[in-house]
A and B are shown apart, each in its own frame.
Chain A
Amino acid sequence: MKFGLFYEISIPRPWTRETERTVYNNCLEQVKLADELGFDHVWAVEHHFLEEYSHCSAPELFLTACAVLTKRIRVGHGIVVCVPEFNHPIKIAERTATLDLLSGGRLEVGTGRSATWTELGGFGANPDTTKKSWDEFVRCLPKMWMQETFSYQGEFWSMPERTILPKPYQKPHPPMWVAVTSPGTEIDAAERGLGSLGLSFAGFEEQEKKIKEYRRRIQSCEPAGAFVNEQVATTNFLFCHEDEKYGVEMGKKLGNTFNYLATQLISTREVFSSPSYQSLGLLPALRRAATGPDASEQQTEGMAYGDPARIIRAVKKWESLGVDCINFILNANEVVPQDQVMASLRLFAKEVMPVFAKKPANVAAAAE
């Protein structure tokens, strides 16, 4: 089992220049500590215009800062929006290659298409075509990274032959993922040989079904890149505390705040009738969970909050379902004080991570 951090970069009102800067600095401090503690990944979303919920509109810059501050932790675009109005594919190839170089080959590239009208409408994108443009981008990116020269004539973008520079540090190219929120996207991931970057908070049963289907389908995939990245990551909240009751209480506060902010987003389906957005993505589950920012009843199964023993039980369950990596949201609207976020990371690393550490080969052999 691998562990990562997952950043939306949620910033409460009032937005003074100091509050935004402080939250960004808090995140960087957390990443630096996570690197020292042995966490495997730090992911950052690309979101635009999502007030309080996510101020992470330039993740490549945030991730560059993370890369410079750290030595080992892998940095993940989680995700880069593969819609031409948001990002030109040439720029994606160039930016990601540069980040891979600066991080010394520690980049993971998550892909996706945006789920909110707030964002799609803001960029003037057509919701009907985002799945198609995502597919084009995903097919092109590995070629742009690997081929010395590249040209392309497509439905959503074209370019004459040019040399796209620089090239990534990792060869043949960084691992690729796709954000999985809407039902069926795990199949999209599997059929293209992409990692499944789960961004929903569904319960065990639903996740198990998705993972089984992903594992089955990826066996016969036609990879979009040069290799198959068979990995299943899921998202969770983390608050680890010696006192179980306090840990659960604070974890719920974090989860409820995040969920309540998320439900304020205008999903594309809510306003724009489109066959491309038949599902509300993660919103139905969040709305069921989010009766309010101070809801007290909700306890979604499998959440990683409480004391270490409780969290170990939750992680073991995810592991048994076939999850390879859990990415943790540490805060929302800064409801968890920074010193407690840092203490939670330390305690998790001390008490929980060793339980799931990969056994050295000689130990494993001896055990057999």
Chain B
Amino acid sequence: MPLYGTLDLTAVANQLPTLANLDTEAWILPKAEMLQLLIEVPRSSTDGLLPKAMHPALPSYVILAVTKYSESPVGPFTLAMLRLGTRAGAHPRGFMLGAVASSEAAAKELRNRWGFPIETGEVKFLRRHDRVMGTVKKNGKTILDCALVDPQPVSGTDVQYINWVTAANAPIDGQTQTMLIQVDPKYTFYKAERGKPQVATFDAAAWNAPGLLLADPIVGTCCTVDTDLPRIRFVMDPLKPVFQGTRRIRESRVDE
């Protein structure tokens, strides 16, 4: 059967965000501008990054995303994320390895509500006619400098965003446990562009992914979307195969 990750999250539980509960309220995030670059990475460099419950994507790839949220319950902020392409059972997912938000308020809420492994830094999303750029600085050091080069219009129906998974501690069955949390935003597209990914600087260690090597670019997209961060519906045991260890903690959204 398919390979599994090797990361025992329970062994690093003290490094994970801790949620007070799983009753996170949803955020509505209108007119977000999302830059997303997909890049293949050597499987050997992702071996230790993937939880035991999940299968690696074949080939391994990462998603570098820089998103400008012009409206949110904590005000405007820009968010950069590194996600590792994976499979939760039969379903494609992006396991969140690291994130940086431009505001402390946003970082705090994302960490405490959805389990983002997030810090605060200087995150910029810049749109130019020949490229869309994302840069991230932490403590004055550039840890990401990337771009989508030569953006060309495509239809929003051509773009597929896969759901995310975070790792966190949260109370369930009367005790705090380490778990995987599914974060599954919805998207309504206003504009979509596609281009070539380009990465000038990527500090893997600063994204909690030491040893991760970027290899072959797949594609980049930049989209304007209405999106959200929904209530948590599914959590997963980090050590059991997802098809055995998934728990639904809330019914699907009323609009689903």
**Residues of A in contact with B (beta carbons under 8 Å apart):** 12-13, 49-52, 117-118, 121-122, 257, 259-261, 263-266, 269-275, 278, 286-287, 290-295, 333
Residues of B contacting A272 with CB < 8 Å?
Answer: 38, 218-219
A305 to B194: give the CA distance in the assembly, Å: 45
CA distance A287 to B218 in the complex (A): 24
What is the minimal beta-carbon distance from B234 to any residue of chain A, in angstroms?
A: 13
Chain A residues lying within 8 Å of B85, measured Cβ to Cβ, are 266, 271
A292 touching B154, Cβ below 8 Å: no
- Whether, in the assembled complex, B20 has its beta carbon less than 8 Å from a beta carbon of chain A, the answer is no
- Which residues from chain B sit less than 8 Å from chain A, CB to CB? 1-3, 38, 40, 55, 57-59, 61, 85, 87, 89-92, 154-155, 157-160, 162, 192, 194, 216, 218-219, 221, 241, 243-244
Cross-chain contact A292 with B241 (CB below 8 angstroms): yes
B57 in contact with A292 (CB, 8 Å): no
- Interface contact tally, CB-CB below 8 A: 87
Decide if B40 touches A290 in the complex (CB within 8 Å). no
B158 & A266 in contact (Cβ 8 Å cutoff): no
Residue of A nearest to B91 (CB): A287
24 contacts between A and B (CB under 8 A): A51-B2, A51-B58, A52-B1, A52-B2, A117-B218, A118-B58, A121-B59, A121-B218, A257-B1, A259-B90, A264-B2, A264-B87, A266-B58, A266-B59, A266-B92, A270-B160, A270-B162, A272-B218, A273-B158, A273-B159, A273-B219, A278-B158, A287-B91, A290-B90
B197 to nearest A CB, angstroms? 11
Q: How far is the CA of A261 from the CA of B61 in the complex (A)?
A: 19
Choose among A52, A257, A265, A291 the residue that contacts B89 (Cβ–Cβ < 8 A): A291
Contact status A265-B216, CB under 8 Å: no
Cβ-defined contact, B90 with A291, below 8 A: yes
- Closest approach, in angstroms, between the C-beta of B67 and any C-beta of chain A? 16
Task: Report Cα–Cα, A264/B60, bound state, in Å.
Answer: 12
In the bound complex, CA of A278 to CA of B159 (Å): 8
Please report the C-alpha to C-alpha distance between residue A265 and residue B3 in the assembled complex, in whole angstroms. Answer: 13
Q: What residues of chain B lie closer than 8 Å to A49, measured between beta carbons?
A: 58-59
In the complex the two chains form, what is the Cα distance from A271 to B162 in whole Å?
Answer: 9
Q: Which residue of B lies closest to A269 (CB)?
A: B160
Query: Known contacts A286-B90, A290-B90, A292-B89; is A271 also within 8 Å of B243 by CB?
Result: no
Chain B residues whose CB sits within 8 angstroms of the CB of A294 once the complex forms: 243
**Residue of chain B at shortest CB distance from A262:** B90
**Is the beta-carbon distance between A275 and B2 smaller than 8 angstroms?**
no
Q: In the assembled complex, how far is the CB of residue A31 from the closest CB belonging to chain B, in whole angstroms?
A: 26
Cα–Cα distance between A291 and B159 once the two chains are bound (Å):
25
Report whether B90 and A263 are in contact in the complex, using a CB–CB cutoff of 8 Å: yes
Given contacts A52-B1, A259-B90, A270-B162, 9 further A-B contacts (CB under 8 A): A49-B58, A118-B58, A121-B218, A263-B90, A266-B92, A273-B154, A273-B159, A291-B243, A293-B243
Which single residue of chain A is at the shortest CB-CB distance from B216? A121
Contact indicator B55/A264 (Cβ below 8 Å): yes
Residues of B within 8 A of A265 (CB): 58
Give chain A residues whose Cβ lies under 8 Å from the Cβ of B160.
269-270, 273
Q: Give Cα A287 to B1, complex, Å.
A: 16
Cβ–Cβ contact B87 & A263, under 8 A: yes
